[in-house]
Amino acid sequence: MIKVQSINSIDALKMSIQCEMDMREYYEEATVIVNNDDAEAILKGLTDKADKHRQSLIRAYSKLSGKKILYLKLGRKHKLSSLVKCADDPNEAIRNAKKNEQELKSFYLIISRRLIESDLRQLFRELAMEQEQHYALLESSFEEPLHLDEEPIEAETEESNIMSELASA
């Protein structure tokens, strides 16, 4: 569970930038371990979304602080410790991705309530809404029980072989 007592705008932005970097890395790792083209496409899309979020947060940081972020190296104080690392098992990676999206949504909502600047509050509300959409996408795309670690079933393999033969002919 997320505990945020008080936070200033700069720290909130730094933490959020780090969170989006962590999520981008998470989805890149998850994309590599799934054996499913549809799952890979969804995870790559979420990777791109995390990068877009990071870029918008960096713009907000630069606007507020007058500084540019060339790289971000934060201590424990600026990391959201409730985010889970990517598991080696593709099924567990998807389950953890759902948990992470929920954690980020909660974090962004908490931050949106604690900031004074209305434009930043709005930014964090929008981010929270997008995290909810990411969670809904993961929920609807990956129903339990997951079978992402299995090889494609024979029908898919046969269809693939037929398409390969047609392409070579």
pLDDT (tens, 9 = 90+) of the chain, 169 residues, equals 555 566 889 989 999 999 999 999 999 999 999 988 899 999 999 999 999 999 999 999 999 988 887 666 666 666 788 999 999 999 999 999 999 999 999 999 999 999 989 999 999 999 999 999 999 999 999 877 777 666 555 445 555 566 566 555 4
**Rounded Cα distance, 95 and 116, in Å:** 34
Domain 9-168 maps to which CATH number in 3.20.20.140, 3.40.50.2300, 1.20.1260.10, 1.20.140.10? 1.20.1260.10
| DSSP code at position 58 | H
Contact status, residue 88 vs residue 33, Cβ threshold 8 Å: yes
pTM: 0.81
DSSP H or E stretch at residue 122 = helix 118-141
Could you tell me the two tokens for 84?
């889970």
Judged on CB neighbours under 10 Å (0-12, 13-18, 19+), 45 is middle
- pLDDT score, position 142: 87
